[in-house]
Structure 1
């Protein structure tokens, strides 16, 4: 008999932690082999070695997961009270906190995030998300009464869609899993999640915690698969009534097109090329620190990265000088489990090479490379996918590095003259996910807020996603919102009820 890869393997990380990691598909509360038993290796981008392999799902596996989700929705989950759903979600939140160190190990291991100042924050944020939506679950189906004629009683009910699909990204595998799964279950739906084939491990670990928390079999199903197979099967499936996606704009287009087969509802959180404007009255030191954090946090692999900086001409040279000094002195690269490291490796060799190609193109088009642009000297012999934080100055709107999402630790810096020009430059993009402005002038900030075409605006601060606040974009950055009350509403549909209290024809 031919041996097959096990459904559980032991994993150990450099800090000495070890645990048994599930490798199968999670369907109906069981870890199982995929039908074709096809495997994919999960890589540690810090050293290029294989962590383990996991089973890849195809259409038949997705069909199996959807059947399980539909059966549980019809027979169990939709009949649960809001309080009962809330209790289970709260248990999941507590179990994530209890196991946060292992989950942070996984986040660091498979995505390259430094464990102690990046990965652990993502995990604890995920626990907060489950806890928040546990609170909203209690009254999730509540609607409102609407005053109409005296002879009518009119009200609304918030109802779940049924079976929902989620396609999550590799850059925040734990967080995006929570952003979709928690509100979906809180609203009374069941869910089938397709993880990225690059980072499936944290989601599989949370499945164990969900089972331990008492989540009924079939409520949560997780498959690892390629977008062209498992992703397509999920977005096209006629029994999936809602799909939530996080990833590139190009794939978002495909998801929306596939979802049209049964007009399923879509939430699409896609790419970004977010502007950061520094006015001449801003606190220079603080704007420099926040700007650096906004692009180099999570090694630039973040859709809301402040990747286009616009500095008013009167402070442009002073900003650049201090910005370069700060970046060189602040960011330390290395293995994601090494104390003091705050910038890890890129997710893959292909992604690092893609970023290097953009830097080369930027310089060719006239950008001035001030720092970065290569692997750090101390890591030159490393087999990891490291790339130094990179600053390209004197950029213009025609450059590819300004127009296209690079998704790495590369920032462009340009100058502007007037307030009107700052807003015009900020809006000169197909994206509209986030925008950042630094000024001490309240009127100036309000003018920017109302003028910029973006789903989120941050004043004197960079990336600050909060589970209580709606998250989403304008234009090609997507549609719909996640997090906050809007995140719950995204997994609900409104039913209007009209009751005749005595009117006759």
Structure 2
């Protein structure tokens, strides 16, 4: 499969290729060009040429293209979801949800296109001021492998509606569905060069995009270390930047919670997408009065999860995306076992057997009695491992929840509104859920504090961050 630059499929100027393999079987799915700095420069040039025309389109015209693309995505959602499962590994059911979620995002931004307006400030004898929003210009987006379709929507929807052109660098292991979605946007009427997709590694293609002096904004989703590198490089040209760098989301379960509902919330919140989700439940704090029964019920549900090839029937969890990712998870659990930082009560090893020998499978894992200094608590564990801790009261739960450099999301499970409000007021996070976790509709701003990044995806907030104000002062 080729890159898309200037509205057409094109190969890299180099002859190098990246192989895309199915995480469940190790089989070759396709290959894409390993884009270079020269390829990225071509894409930025194409985006720059397209910007002059695209910015003159009305918001309604741009919104209608997003609507048409969403309709085409819904028509093809089964094929797109199957391709996503083949390159990423998640169960087909989750891939279908993700593709539909992408369509929801395009529809949301298409829908609000008719409601954007400027502002008039009446200044009395000094005159009036008209304030409008203008696009930034050529923007860059770098997306990860864990939720490549949804995160593409978060960046493409607001960037294009605001009137920018965009150069997108997919993850090197999951570019195929992104390329197909870009083609659908072209078919929906997006002019050539408005959206360009350059495949390749972060070290080559990604860094070239961030460094390019003609790119006005970078939106990056990925690791903290890479995010810091992006921030450093963008400072040289004073680029706008949005960074979503993951988190270590706490889930708090209080004595008055509906236990069965909370157990199901923890199950989905941690093991959805094999735990490879930025806002997954990564630390679980259960109040002492219900801790024993909660852990027992959760252990039973975790042990019953059906792990296998995401294209198979009735699969609850697929493989990790790569052998390297599985090695990181295996090492973290092994260190916990060796250092006696916690008690592994379920899972704790790679899956064995003929059905698993070619894939990157790992057993869903529960760990109790975890020490506060364990890496399972202090670091973001991006996989199917859930540490569960007992706490005496809400105050202790909040204190532990805030004992982290991250601040992306958090949830509290309770029937007491005062407890819910206390968590909302005191837990450091960009989003707080009550009696649910993970839900992120396109209307709701999403982003973190502290080590989880800066800026917001989704909603009107994201649209505003892809534009800038311009004021016209009228002295009558």
More displaced stretch, 193-202 vs 48-57: 48-57
1:402 matched to 2:380? The reply is no
1:51 matched to 2:25? The reply is no
Question: Does structure 2 conserve the Cα–Cα contact (< 8 Å) formed by 1:85 and 1:138?
Answer: no
Question: 1:78-477, aligned counterparts within 5 Å?
Answer: 78-115=55-92, 117-140=93-116, 142-329=117-304, 331-366=305-340, 367-377=342-352, 381-477=356-452
Root mean square deviation of aligned Cα: 1.2
Question: Does structure 2 conserve the Cα–Cα contact (< 8 Å) formed by 1:179 and 1:482?
Answer: yes
Q: Distance in 2 between matches of 1:364 and 1:446?
A: 40
SS in 1 for 2:237: coil
Residue in 2 that maps onto 1:66: 44
- Measured after TM superposition, the shift of residue 440 of structure 1 is 0.8
Residue in 1 that maps onto 2:455: 480
Per-residue Cα deviation, 1:402-451 (whole angstroms, up to 9, x for no partner) = 11111000010111112211111000001000001111111011011100
Q: Distance in 2 between matches of 1:381 and 1:494?
A: 54
Per-residue Cα deviation, 1:440-464 (whole angstroms, up to 9, x for no partner) = 1110110111000000000111110
SS in 1 for 2:236: coil
Per-residue Cα deviation, 1:210-241 (whole angstroms, up to 9, x for no partner) = 12111100000001111111111111111100
Q: Distance in 2 between matches of 1:134 and 1:450?
A: 33
Question: Does structure 1 conserve the Cα–Cα contact (< 8 Å) formed by 2:330 and 2:350?
Answer: no
SS in 2 for 1:476: helix
Per-residue Cα deviation, 1:305-354 (whole angstroms, up to 9, x for no partner) = 1110011122221211111012122x211111111002001001111111
Q: Structure 2, unaligned stretches of length 5 or more? A: none
Residue in 2 that maps onto 1:14: none
More displaced stretch, 318-327 vs 464-473: 318-327
Question: 1:6-45, aligned counterparts within 5 Å?
Answer: 23-45=1-23
- Measured after TM superposition, the shift of residue 378 of structure 1 is 5.0
Question: Does structure 2 conserve the Cα–Cα contact (< 8 Å) formed by 1:272 and 1:304?
Answer: yes
Q: Distance in 1 between matches of 2:134 and 2:336?
A: 50
Per-residue Cα deviation, 1:262-319 (whole angstroms, up to 9, x for no partner) = 1110011112100011111111111111011100001100010111001112222121
- Measured after TM superposition, the shift of residue 155 of structure 1 is 2.4
SS in 2 for 1:413: strand
CA pair 364-191 structure 1, distance change in 2 beyond 3 A: same
Count of aligned pairs: 475
